[in-house]
Amino acid sequence: MKDISKVYKAGSNEFKALYDVNLTINKGEFVSIVGPSGAGKSTLMNIIGCLDKASSGQYMLDGIDTNCSDGKLAEIRNKKIGFIFQNYNLLPKLSILDNVQLPLIYQGINDKEAKQRSIERLQKIGLGNHIKHKPSELSGGQMQRVAIARALVTRPEMILADEPTGALDSKTGKEVLEILKQLNNEGNTIVLITHDRDIAAQAKRVITISDGTIASDEVKIDSDVAYTLSKS
């Protein structure tokens, strides 16, 4: 992102929610974006996730300029980004399997392959025995795991998680964070948005956003590496 700004307009009122944000996230990173309510997290996430466009500035995602038509932006979003939301956003009338398959069907992947890939993903995340269930028959933690399977099934360039533990008890929330860490260890790029400093601190890099600007950007040093550095 280069000089990304966002202005919301309502009639003659204008509100600037992001000021000249410059940000680079590399493949394979695990980044959290943290800040208080109203700081601009959702605004930034909507732009990162190709759900909304910046008012000015440039955002390149995997080499593609996102300043394009809405249709093209939707295509980029579907191909490149896996979303995980606080409230899971599962479709209640569909089975777990159909929920996970949906982004593949949107991509035009044939039913057989979509089904196979979705079952594999659900098995990997420990829900292989629940594929015919409806979301309402699962616990919150299980529903979030379905959402994670749905986010991963398209093999996206980036996982974008918006308060993924916000609706979960602390034990289940920790389990979901462990899954995200594991996915990052397997090479997935993860961007986690949260208002909670403790949750943000689980990421390898913590970006603090305040009043529409990046207030700090800290890369955490692995404790083993820190130890080695302190000895040398």
Binding site for ligand ADP (CB under 6 A): 8, 10, 15, 17, 35, 37-43
Residue 65 CB, nearest approach to ligand ADP (Å)? 23
Cβ 202 vs Cβ 26: under 8 Å: no
Cβ closest to Mg ion, residue 122 vs residue 203: 203
Q: Is 105 left (phi over 0), alpha (psi -120 to 50) or beta?
A: alpha
Look up residue 111 and give its amino acid. Answer: D
Q: How far is the C-alpha of 115 from the C-alpha of 140, rounded, in Å?
A: 24
Residue 45 CB, nearest approach to Mg ion (Å)? 7
Q: Sheet holding 56-58: strands in order across?
A: 13-21, 2-10, 56-58
Q: Hey, is 63 helix, strand or coil?
A: coil
128 binds, among Mg ion, ligand ADP, none (CB under 5 to 8 A by kind): none
Residue 200 CB, nearest approach to ligand ADP (Å)? 13
Q: How far is the C-alpha of 232 from the C-alpha of 227, rounded, in Å?
A: 9
Cβ closest to ligand ADP, residue 25 vs residue 100: 25
Cβ closest to ligand ADP, residue 11 vs residue 71: 11
Q: Hey, is 96 helix, strand or coil?
A: helix
Residue 6 CB, nearest approach to Mg ion (Å)? 13
CA 81 to chain centre: 7
Cβ 47 vs Cβ 54: under 8 Å: yes
Cβ closest to ligand ADP, residue 189 vs residue 208: 208
Sole binder of Mg ion in the list 5, 42, 89, 172 (CB under 5 A): 42
**Number of residues this chain uses to bind Mg ion (CB under 5 A):** 2
- Cα dihedral sign for 65, 71, 74, 78? negative
Total Cβ atoms within 10 A of residue 143: 22
Residue 204 CB, nearest approach to ligand ADP (Å)? 22
Residue 193 CB, nearest approach to ligand ADP (Å)? 8
* Length of the chain measured in residues: 232
Cβ closest to Mg ion, residue 45 vs residue 131: 45
Give the residue at shortest CB distance from Mg ion. 42
Site for Mg ion in 46-105 (CB under 5 A): none
Cβ closest to ligand ADP, residue 17 vs residue 81: 17
- Interface residue list for Mg ion (CB under 5 A): 41-42
